[in-house]
Amino acid sequence: MERIYVIGAGAVGLLMASFLSEAHYPVTIVTRREEQAIEICKDGITRFNVNGQPQKFDVAAITEQQLQVEGGAIVIVATKYNALQTLFPTLKKLENVSLLFMQNGLLHYEQALTLKQTNIMFGSAQFGAEKINETTVYQRGLGVLKLAIGRGNEAIIKAFEAASNERFFIEQQPDAEQMLLEKALLNCFVNPLTALLQVRNGQLIQNTHAYHLLQQLYQELMQAFPEMQQKFPFQAVYQLCERTAENISSMLADRQAGRKTEIDTIVGAVIQRAKKIGADVPTLSVLYYLLLAIEESGEKM
């Protein structure tokens, strides 16, 4: 079986590593900090399933500086977009590997395709994941992992299909760029509102005023991208908030930790797409600049 390297030991990286390890793939987590690599080597990864049942998986762990990849391996890049920029020199040196990019938003798409690797794929995680500590992750909601080929063959998809189960379901998409736009729109419904209001996803449909904002944002984005309305009826957005009611969105988690959010690669990129087609998105633009203002002020929760 192919060895799989997961670069990035956040919520998505740990969760994916656990499911691939469960399918008996040899998995190596690649961390930024040596302390986390040492803890993972010692304790493995503990995954709490949606039903609350814990499972433990033994995986290897190294730091980015120690990364040496044999040919034929699969490399999953599960860092956030901001961290991805410093990784590109390392990725350029990897030969005869297949790459899977798991970033939110749209900005990484064209950058990734400038790399020389034959097989480049993009993923869109529709499941909920929350990192509790260096070695523990909770699966907070069920959902598919969508995969689409950017260039090359289906080598990565075949590996993931072998790991697919009722808690980790794989779905192939025909158009990588379209898939990323769809996920960015979904994130625009949830991430900026939860980050500004400092609430979990479920509050967007439980709080009267938050629900009004969600509806207004939906109407605005569907007017800007009418071709998406069939894919995203409002009921689908409602069900997303319902299904992930206890989730803390990635943007809210970043704000709570005082980290830079992915506001530019998600919301900023969608605003730019709307401008290119002559569409106006004033509500989303206000949310965008409010979050940028909070980041610039350095305000924490």
Write the pLDDT tens digit of every residue in 63-115.
Answer: 998 998 888 899 999 998 888 889 999 999 998 899 999 998 888 999 999 99
Predicted local confidence at residue 55, as pLDDT: 96
Question: pLDDT tens digit string along 54-63?
Answer: 999 999 999 9
> 291 pLDDT exceeds 60?
yes
What gap in Å lies between CA 193 and CA 77, rounded to an integer?
27
* Cβ–Cβ under 8 Å, residues 224 and 266: no
- Rounded Cα distance, 106 and 48, in Å: 30
Q: What token pair was written down for 130?
A: 């929350």
221 close to 227: Cβ distance less than 8 angstroms: no
Select the more confidently predicted residue: 30 or 262: 30
130-134, 153-157, 210-214, 272-276: least confidently modelled range = 153-157
